[in-house]
Amino acid sequence: MAVNFPSIDPAQLHPVAGVTLGFAEANIRKPNRKDVLVISVDEGATVAGVFTSNRFCAAPVTVCREHLAKAREARGAKGIRALVVNTGNANAGTGEPGLAHARETCDELARLAGIAPEQVLPFSTGVILEPLPIDRLKAGLPAALESRAAAHWYEAAQAIMTTDTLPKAASAQVAIDGHTVTLTGISKGAGMIKPNMATMLGFLAFDAALSQDVLDTLVKDVADRSFNCITIDGDTSTNDSFILIATAKSSLPAITSVATPAYAALRDAVVRLAQTLAQLIVRDGEGATKFMTVQVEGGTNEAECRKIAYAIGHSPLVKTAFYASDPNLGRILAAIGYAGIDDLDVAKIDLYLGDVHVAKAGGRHPAYREEDGQRVMKESEITIRVLLGRGSARATIWTCDLSHEYVSINADYRS
């Protein structure tokens, strides 16, 4: 029951020169499903990532951070050459043995592919606190390597699904300084700063060449405007990871500074694609029936706007009211009030639901009629707009409603 989820045509996902993708059915948790993905990257690419803020981060996240640091030190001499993802098991809350398993995965893939272990980035998503079935994972690697192809982006999106009901992928081509740049990405799960436990993973490759420093800046920039702007249930996973791969195969000259028009053009293209991938996650949010955009404007800074947007986006009472199409909009005011902005003057606040002016100066708008609120609540795409009247900062997040189906999915997830 995803919300206005666009139909994705595998043929419309452009291959990105320098990237091939292969998968396997390794029986990690359940039989007969793609559960291992290998992404191979040609020599000369740069890779950067951002990861969960959860202190209980998964073993593969720790290993990713180590290997990315080593690649950075090596200054291109020994860059990242492969990513390996398993679903069905998060390898989190698994202590030292979990760390050993993540390293063993890299060792085995490196041996098979003829590269060094630190040129491999490992990712896991699934149930926490259970030992990774390392033997089955290793046994699946040859088939995954064997099946690699540049055209396998759609299959790759399928191979990283857990509670997702649909594979998530997007692709674009843009012209920068007269050169065509191709971008393709996949995602799964929900959220990044506030994600669904099913874990958010995002992998996005493009064929432009970027220096490591520029790519490091870009990956944070993009995450903050895309995956860090979504929430489904406010839980931050142990495994969230978002990776950018710059393969350097395009004819566009290498981008070595963020202060260039080429960087700005590329950034905008990557942000657009990442926003699409992030919004696909919300549209396929567990049990989602509504897609909500929460826009908070007129704040003194972006941080307070985000706090208020997230308070609204996380409130189970707001989310259930949207599920019911019930314009019980006082719940939004209440969420604004407890967002933690101590000096907030509620008498300056206006609230819009779609095009309907609901609250003015902190109270119900005299002209507001329940049937107008009701009309907007019945739509499947709804914008909640809050004007704080205290500055010019703004923030936007995307979220979904809370339904019976959400409870069913999460009460049944392991069974």
Q: Does 162 count as an annotated binding residue?
A: yes
Residues 6+ apart with CB under 8 A from 371: none
Q: Of the candidates 235, 260, 302, 389, which one interacts with a second copy according to CB under 8 A?
A: 235
For CA atoms 186, 192, 195, 196, the dihedral sign is: positive
Of 218, 253, 208, 254, which is closest to residue 19 (Cα–Cα)?
208
Residue 250 CB, nearest distance to a second copy (Å)?
38
316 lines the binding site for a second copy (CB under 8 A): yes
Contact between residue 199 and residue 125 where contact means Cβ atoms under 8 Å apart: yes
Q: Which one of 163, 182, 199, 247 is the catalytic residue? A: 199
54 lines the binding site for a second copy (CB under 8 A): yes
371 lines the binding site for a second copy (CB under 8 A): no
Question: Which position has the token pair 């100066």?
Answer: 361
Q: Residue count at the site for a second copy (CB under 8 A)? A: 68
Nearer to a second copy, 156 or 344 (CB): 344
Q: Of the candidates 7, 32, 96, 261, which one interacts with a second copy according to CB under 8 A?
A: 96
215 lines the binding site for a second copy (CB under 8 A): no
List the strands of the sheet with 19-24, edge to edge. 19-24, 36-41, 82-89, 120-127
Residue 59 CB, nearest distance to a second copy (Å)?
10
62 lines the binding site for a second copy (CB under 8 A): no
List the strands of the sheet with 46-51, edge to edge. 46-51, 241-246, 201-206, 179-188, 168-176
Report d(CA 92, CA 130) in Å as an integer. Answer: 8
Report d(CA 351, CA 329) in Å as an integer. Answer: 9
361 lines the binding site for a second copy (CB under 8 A): yes
Residue 294 CB, nearest distance to a second copy (Å)?
16
Say what angle helices 59-73 and 95-113 make with each other, to 10 degrees: 50
Instruction: Give 354: exposed, middle or buried? Use CB within 10 Å, 0-12, 13-18, 19+.
Output: middle
Q: Does 168 count as an annotated binding residue?
A: no
Q: Of the candidates 85, 214, 359, 377, which one interacts with a second copy according to CB under 8 A?
A: 359
Please give the C-alpha separations between residue 157 and each of 66, 166, 216, 231, 375, in angstroms, as whole numbers.
26, 9, 24, 20, 36
Contact between residue 163 and residue 413 where contact means Cβ atoms under 8 Å apart: yes
Q: Does 293 count as an annotated binding residue?
A: no
56 lines the binding site for a second copy (CB under 8 A): yes
Q: Any catalytic annotation for residue 199?
A: yes
Report d(CA 80, CA 115) in Å as an integer. Answer: 9
Contact between residue 354 and residue 329 where contact means Cβ atoms under 8 Å apart: no
Q: Of the candidates 74, 254, 334, 393, which one interacts with a second copy according to CB under 8 A?
A: 334
Residue 159 CB, nearest distance to a second copy (Å)?
22
Residue 393 CB, nearest distance to a second copy (Å)?
18
Nearer to a second copy, 72 or 390 (CB): 390
Return the residues of window 374-413 that contact a second copy according to CB under 8 A.
402-404, 406-408, 410-413
Residue 234 CB, nearest distance to a second copy (Å)?
7
- Residue 72 phi, psi dihedral angles, 5° rounding: -65, -45
Return the residues of window 236-295 that contact a second copy according to CB under 8 A.
236-238
Q: Does 4 count as an annotated binding residue?
A: no
Q: Does 70 count as an annotated binding residue?
A: no
Q: Does 302 count as an annotated binding residue?
A: no
Identify the bridge partners of residue 149 per DSSP, sorted by sequence position. Answer: 21
Q: Among all residues, which ones are annotated catalytic?
A: 199
> Which residues in this chain contact a second copy in the complex, by CB under 8 A?
53-57, 90, 92-98, 127-131, 196-197, 233-238, 314-317, 320-321, 323-324, 326, 328-331, 333-338, 341-342, 344, 346-347, 358-359, 361-364, 402-404, 406-408, 410-415
